[in-house]
Amino acid sequence: MLVRRWWDLAVGSIPNKLKWLGYQMQSWSRTRSRKVKKNRVELEERLDFLYNQELSDEILEDIMEVQLGLNLEADKEELFWEQRARVNWLKNGDRNTTFFHNIAIQRQSRGRIAELEDEYGDKTSLNEEMLKIASDYFGRLFTAFDLGRDEHLFGPVERRVTASMNDMLLRQFTDEEITQAVKMMAPLQAPGVDGFPATFFQRY
């Protein structure tokens, strides 16, 4: 399996291995895309040639075989654009490749952030700087601050969380809990900062 081999060849921390794996997958995808396109063109040319021959049982059999190959290529292309579009509600009907393609392009343009402004009012459009601004912002937003005891507020409130319940809430996550959480994630929703959607981790 390619993913396993690439992962075994990668070195460093998990984020670095994921980054290297992403480069390998992009390179593989570009190469495969060229091969798929070449294969589809060859099938179309073969079909055109067969339609211009005198019909016989052998020619009809060849036409059916080539047409089946083209249908399989169309199915794969539709699935690719369906995944890119992340549309989960459209199931049946005619081929929706054009629809999925348009949705994917709209999502990409709508979801692109052109620039960000930091806390000092400085604007930037560089990816690394925008990532740092966003990371710092949400880091501050979700970091708890010690503001002192609030006994005057919480003193009269009846305690509902017992010591054993609190211990359970504070314990470290187990591998099983993390696995279960990952499996419950929507497979094709927005990817994380590493660029991988949940389906990658669910499968590999």
> Does pLDDT of 51 surpass 60?
yes
Question: Can you tell me the distance from the alpha carbon of 193 to that of 135, in angstroms, rounded to the nearest whole number?
Answer: 10
CA atoms within 13 A on the CB side of 71: 7
**Structural domains of the chain, count:** 1
pLDDT at res. 94: 47
Question: Can you tell me the distance from the alpha carbon of 169 to that of 157, in angstroms, rounded to the nearest whole number?
Answer: 20
Which residues are CB-neighbours of 179 under 8 A, at least 6 positions away?
none
Q: Which domain holds residue 39?
A: 1-52
The verdict on pTM exceeding 0.85 is no
Residue 29 lies in a domain: yes
pLDDT at res. 41: 85
Residue 192 lies in a domain: no
pLDDT at res. 102: 66
- Which of 129, 104, 98 has its CA nearest to residue 115? 129
Residue 22 lies in a domain: yes
Query: 161-172 pLDDT, tens per residue?
Result: 899 999 999 999
Amino acid at the residue 55:
L
- Where does residue 184 rank: exposed (0-12), middle (13-18), buried (19+ CB within 10 A)? exposed
Tell how strand 123-124 and strand 116-117 pair up: antiparallel
pLDDT at res. 165: 93
Question: Can you tell me the distance from the alpha carbon of 19 to that of 10, in angstroms, rounded to the nearest whole number?
Answer: 9
Residue 69 lies in a domain: no
Distance from the Cα of residue 141 to its chain's centroid: 26
Amino acid at the residue 128:
E
Residue 143 lies in a domain: no
Q: What is the mean pLDDT of residues 149-155?
A: 71
